[in-house]
Amino acid sequence: MDHAVVLFDGDCNFCDSSVQFIINHDPAGYYQFASLQSDIGRELRKKHEVPEDVDSLVLIQDGKAYVKSEGALMISRHLTGLWKLAFYLKSFPRPLRDGAYDVVAKNRYKVFGKLNSCMLPPPHIRKRFLDKQ
């Protein structure tokens, strides 16, 4: 099975919750994870030419990087249940989607705070974190 990689802000509570959400709705283990701040995160950003100002979520899939609302909606395609339907929000104009995404991303620390410690996932989940091996 092919895998996709989700890069996330390792300091952000909202991003951590988003990763937990993805894990809970991806029982097949399609997604692997790495923090943007990790060595592998920086390496993948550079390899896929992700702009430095992107600091919340990046999806690396099929050799391409997806950022902002595009990344989030692409992730929904492989989730279980009705979450797959979120992908169809792509029919909304990208500037509107990215505008809403930017508002949440810009205020995520104020609203959700920063992490003081990282979760310690069980071994079967830990192997999906590329920077924890």
- Name the helix (H) or strand (E) containing 32: strand 31-35
CATH of the domain at 33: 3.40.30
Residue at 131 is within a domain? no
Q: Phi and psi at residue 108, in whole multiples of 5°?
A: -65, -35
The per-residue pLDDT for 34 is 92
**Tally of domains within the chain:** 1
pLDDT at residue 133, as a whole number: 43
What's the chain's average pLDDT? 84
- Please write the tens of the pLDDT for every residue from 26-41: 999 999 999 888 999 9
Res. 117: pLDDT tops 60: no
**Angle, CA of 90, 95 and 100, to the nearest 5°:** 85
Residue 92 belongs to a domain: yes
- Identify whether 80 is part of a domain: yes
